[in-house]
Amino acid sequence: MEETLTYICYGLYCVPLTIGLVRFQILSKEQKVLVYYLCFVIANTILAEVIARKYGNNLLLYHIYTFVEFSFLLYLFRRSMRRISGIVFLVPGILLSVVGVWGVVTKPFEFPDLFRTVESLVLIGFSVLFFFNALRYLEVKRIERTFPFWISGAVLLYFTGNLLLNIFGSYIAETSDKVYYTVWTIHTIFNMILYILYGVALLCKDPIPPSSQSSS
């Protein structure tokens, strides 16, 4: 059951990518970056499966994936919140880079718990900040039709769930194999929702609020 759900999740990666490729010519710069990122995710997933079947441990690729994921999302938040000082994005970027390099150097074949936890906290903070600014300035009348809205919503939902699973999942999963697989199933479902929302984001026509575009 768990393996089937995992492969369904892998298949869902192709949904937003297909949407992005079909609409590529009319996508914004930020949306095209998402398409490139999805290509990386699929390539990384395929390579991870090959390594797992041939050698077993593929967690070094997960270190790379999490760093690319954070860099991509940090870029999108920076583009969608141009009112915010760049230092607000630079400091977490440097912090996560240090944590990421430290994890690869010291524990390349172990799950990057520290990086994942700090990443979740930072990205949850940025998604909350986006919604706070959106409600404060009201620059877009139908914000639910914008690219940043769906990206921020996807990030808030996924990384909140991911953070809770990281904090409590390891302890809970030690109680029994059944509980472990339940935790893994919940994580997979969150992952599926994330990529579905990425697909919705690629269907939007107005990725950046007008005032942000004029200030660039």
Q: Can you give the pLDDT at residue 140? A: 75
pLDDT digits over 104-156, tens only?
Answer: 888 889 988 889 999 999 999 999 999 998 888 777 778 888 999 999 999 99
Residue 168's contacts (CB-CB under 8 Å, 6 or more residues apart) are: none
Confidence (pTM): 0.88
Provide the residue-wise pLDDT of the chain in tens; the chain has 216 residues: 667 777 788 888 999 999 999 999 999 999 999 999 999 999 999 999 999 999 889 999 999 999 999 999 999 999 988 888 888 899 989 989 999 999 888 888 998 888 999 999 999 999 999 999 888 877 777 888 899 999 999 999 999 998 988 877 666 656 666 777 777 788 889 999 999 999 999 999 764 444 444 443
Q: Which amino acid is at 73?
A: L
Q: What is the pLDDT of residue 4?
A: 78
138 neighbors 174 (Cβ within 8 angstroms): no
The torsion angles phi and psi of 81, rounded to 5 degrees, stand at: -130, 65
pLDDT at position 213 is 44
Percent of the chain exceeding pLDDT 70 equals 88
Please tell me whether residue 31 adopts helix, strand or coil conformation. helix
- Find tokens 């194999």 and name the residue: 177
How many Cβ atoms sit within 10 Å of the Cβ of residue 134? 19
Q: CA neighbours within 13 Å on the CB side: how many for 158?
A: 24
Question: What is the Cα–Cα distance from 61 to 208, expressed in whole angstroms?
Answer: 32
Rounded distance between C-alpha atoms, residue 190 and residue 188, angstroms:
5
Q: For position 37, what pLDDT does the model report?
A: 98
Per-residue burial over 165-182, b = 16 or more CB atoms within 10 Å of its CB, e = otherwise: bbeebeeebeeeeeebee
pLDDT of residue 29: 93
Q: What does the alpha-carbon distance between residue 127 and residue 172 come to, in Å, rounded to a whole number? A: 28
Cα separation, 154 vs 160, whole angstroms = 10
Domains, the chain, with CATH or none: 2-214 (1.20.1070)
Host H or E run for residue 149: helix 147-164
Whole-number pLDDT of residue 211: 44
